[in-house]
Amino acid sequence: MRQGMTLIELMVVILIIGILATIVSFALTKAYELSYTAQAKEEFNSVRNSVEMYVDDHGGYPPDTNRDIPPGLESYLAPGLWPDAAWPGSVFDWENWTDPETVEKIYQISIRFCPLGDPSGCRFPKQGWAEDFDYYSSVYYCISGPCRSHIDRPINHPGYCVNCN
């Protein structure tokens, strides 16, 4: 009567456990990415609501900021929401721009994935829509105007608008 497993049987068991662990790890990574996207959309709605309350109280949109909270908006936001965004290493950015071609105002909330002035430090989402992202790319929520990923780039520059058609 055999007392234990042979070396081959043990290696087969370890191989099967390794394959299962790889499958679970891949599934969890996909789930995390989907949860970041869902969280970002929820946070965009919260920030948009805060901006609308700001506009009602002040008669206009807050000024543009560079990866920071617009002055006066903090009292309308939930604690801890700004500037950190859903994806690790990403930050919210309030945009109050004038389109250089049409002179139309652009109001949007963006999520930036690169540290300011450091293109090598970018941490983009692992999603199909972010495959061609670069330093100027963003995920953004358009409030008004010809929104885009960055004012210094054409309107069709890689970016992902969560509420555009």
Amino acid 78 reads A
- Residue 92: the pLDDT is 92
Helix (H, G, I), strand (E, B), or coil: what is residue 116?
coil
pLDDT in tens, 94-152: 999 999 889 999 999 999 999 988 999 999 998 899 999 999 999 999 999 999 999 99
- Residue 160: the pLDDT is 96
pLDDT of 28 > 90? The answer is no
- Domain ranges in the chain are 8-161
> How many Å from the N-terminal Cα to the C-terminal Cα in the chain?
70
